Amino acid sequence: MGIGIGVFAALMALVFFGYAFRVLKEYERAVVYTLGRFTGVKGPGLIILVPFFQTMARVDLRVRTIDVPSQDVISKDNISVKVNAVIYFRVVSPELAINNVENFMRATSEMAQTTLRAVLGKHELDEMLSERDKLSADIQEILDGRTDAWGIKVANVELKHIDLAESMIRAIAKQAEAERDRRAKIISAEGESQAADMLVKAADKLAKSEGGMSLRYLSAFQEIANEKSSTIVLPLPMDILSKIVGK
């Protein structure tokens, strides 16, 4: 009988000490409750709890990641895209993360999804594709402010993929091709306009020079003579013709 009581006492002592003494790692904290009331945060290292009167919730303070699933976003210019992202955050206030929200991981994920849709929906597709860093910073700032009451610090937000429907990709490709054609035509037209301006200036300069037109005819005649041609028709300048007729 005495042996049985001794074994029972030894077991109870093991349970007591196993419950009373806890060891927390460097990145862990314990949110302690006494008879259901929050009484402080302890750790890291060895902490002692009063059995049957005190309980604890263990919180990890390391940086965590959340993969935000693909979200259907309608851009400002009414283009439907699928966007997913990754959120980097950590708990900076263990008591708020436990006391102010039921599940801070799930709450942060849900908040990230709604913030992602709200922010990207205010921008056009071109901005989403070319200004990812700026949009990521905007989402991070808004999300960090909204999760502050939960003791959460959002360190970074990265937009991973922005996917378009196949039909939209083809439409954008056609639009880009049309834009290239438009620019090519504008450049060609500008070149012709500049060439015409230069010709007008050259004609004005030749007209103002007494022997300029004659020299131009001689130069043209030399160019024609160098070509393989059996017959050459050379127009006679009007000033020379008028002198001949006058005689």
Q: CA 125, CA 80: separation in Å to the nearest integer? A: 9
CA 90, 93, 97, 98 dihedral sign is positive
Task: Say yes or no to pLDDT of 247 above 60.
Answer: no
Q: Give the up-direction half-sphere exposure of residue 220: CA atoms within 13 A in the CB hemisphere.
A: 12
Percent of the chain predicted with pLDDT > 70:
69
Task: Say yes or no to pLDDT of 51 above 50.
Answer: yes
pLDDT in tens, 155-185: 999 998 888 766 666 666 666 667 777 887 8
Where helices occur in the chain by DSSP H, the ranges are 2-20, 94-99, 104-120, 125-130, 132-146, 166-208, 212-225, 238-246
Give bridge partners of residue 162 from the DSSP assignment. Answer: 83
pLDDT in tens, 27-47: 999 999 999 999 999 989 999
**Of 4, 5, 19, the residue nearest 51 (C-alpha):** 19
**Of 57, 49, 56, 55, the residue nearest 20 (C-alpha):** 49
Residue 113 burial (CB count, 10 A)? 18
Q: CA 36, CA 46: separation in Å to the nearest integer? A: 22
Task: Say yes or no to pLDDT of 244 above 50.
Answer: no
Residue count (the chain)? 247
Longest dimension (CA), the chain: 158
- What is the predicted pLDDT for the residue at 115? 94
Q: CA 71, CA 53: separation in Å to the nearest integer? A: 46
Lowest mean pLDDT among 13-22, 88-97, 146-155: 13-22
CATH architecture of 64-164: 2-Layer Sandwich (3.30)
**Average pLDDT of the residues of the chain:** 81
Q: CA 239, CA 211: separation in Å to the nearest integer? A: 10
Give the tokens for residue 214. Answer: 């004659």
Domain extents in the chain: 10-60, 64-164, 175-246
pLDDT in tens, 76-123: 888 889 999 999 999 999 999 999 999 999 999 999 999 999 999 999
Q: What are the angstrom distances between the C-alpha of 63 and each of 2, 23, 60, 108, 148?
A: 53, 21, 9, 13, 15
